[in-house]
Amino acid sequence: MRTEQEMFDLILNFARQDDRIRVVWMNGSRANPNAATDKYQDFDIVFIVTEMASFLVNDDWLEVFGERIIMQKPDTMQLIPPKESSSFAYLMLFEDGNRIDLTLFPLEKLEVYLGSDRMHIVLLDKDGLLPQLPPSTDEDYWLKPPTCEIFDDCCNEFWWVSPYVAKGLARGQIPYANAHLDILRNELMRMLSWRAGLEQGFNFSIGKDYKYLQKHIPESDWEQLMLSWRADSHENIWNALFEVCDLFKKVSFEVAGELGCPVPQYDRTVMPYLHRIAREVSDNT
């Protein structure tokens, strides 16, 4: 596997030799001063270029970065249509395990890009175009304390969706039940992250898709959350449903107390309904 330095040398040597590229910018986890480092981190690179059309003619110029296992070009995909943007991205995984997420961005819109993200490191500025930039920070991604209205929305969403899981199980629709269990789990992790912020201060990031959540919550809560992924049978999905409901109820009451928000009451009517469906399913099997 090529080393970090070898990858930076490869990227910057290419950029220095290509007159179309005027600025090289890095964002993502490698620009995050608080992110743990390992060999699986992507190289999230932005080339600020004088024009993009010549790059887009074909992909041959990308061969310099190495032999690829696979590449994705999100801006050309029809399955998940891209948002309207001036940029163009190449996501590349290489045979040696390194990955470069390379984005082209037009020079004439540099000012727009400068204000888009404070987590960045400038690797190359050929023309001294950039102003003095503050140190890279992940502050834009820190947890934010919810208002009582947002807190209640989370509670409402959780308890509103939970009967979908039960009804899916009653009908024998495992994919449907699991899809809605995913929604419950996401709201539970949101609630757990709020509690972590209330306990530890809202000055850290929980990471994309809650990837750093484990280190910010008690081990017992983490173990209970893990049980909700055992969802490969009717019995396990029922168990997962009641595990997430029990944990959500406990944590939401704690968060309500810390925020000074009204204690949610949705569980008082929804939980008996879930148990009723569970009994009906049990009686019919």
Q: Please tell me the predicted confidence (pLDDT) of residue 33.
A: 81
- pLDDT score, position 170: 96
From residue 212, how far is each of 36, 84, 143, 189, 208 by CA, in Å? 10, 30, 12, 11, 8
Q: What number is the average pLDDT over the span 34-60?
A: 93
pLDDT for residue 184 is more than 80: yes
- DSSP states along 237-272: HHHHHHHHHHHHHHHHHHHHHHHTPPPP-HHHHHHH
Determine the pLDDT at residue 134.
80
pLDDT of 37 over the 80 cut = yes
Q: Is the pLDDT of residue 117 over 90?
A: no
Q: What is the mean pLDDT of residues 111-127?
A: 85
* Average of per-residue pLDDT across 89-96: 97
pLDDT digits 0-9 by tens, 131-159: 888 888 888 889 999 999 999 999 999 99
Task: Calculate the dihedral angle through the C-alpha atoms of 74, 42, 5, 46, rounding to the nearest 10 degrees.
Answer: 40
- Give every CB contact of residue 208 below 8 A, 6+ residues apart in sequence: none
Angle at 220 between CA 216 and CA 224, to 5 degrees: 100
pLDDT at 133: 81
What average pLDDT does range 253-272 have in this prediction? Answer: 95
Q: What percent of the chain has pLDDT over 70?
A: 100
The pLDDT confidence band at residue 85, using thresholds 50, 70 and 90, is confident
Whole-prediction pTM value?
0.86
Higher pLDDT, 194 or 285: 194
Which whole-number Å values give the CA distances from 114 to 27, 75, 86, 117, in the listed order? Answer: 12, 21, 14, 7
Domains and CATH numbers, the chain: 4-140 (3.30.460.10), 143-283 (1.20.120.330)
Given CA atoms 59, 65, 71, 74 in this order, what sign does their dihedral have? negative
- Could you tell me the pLDDT band of residue 31, with boundaries at 50, 70 and 90? confident
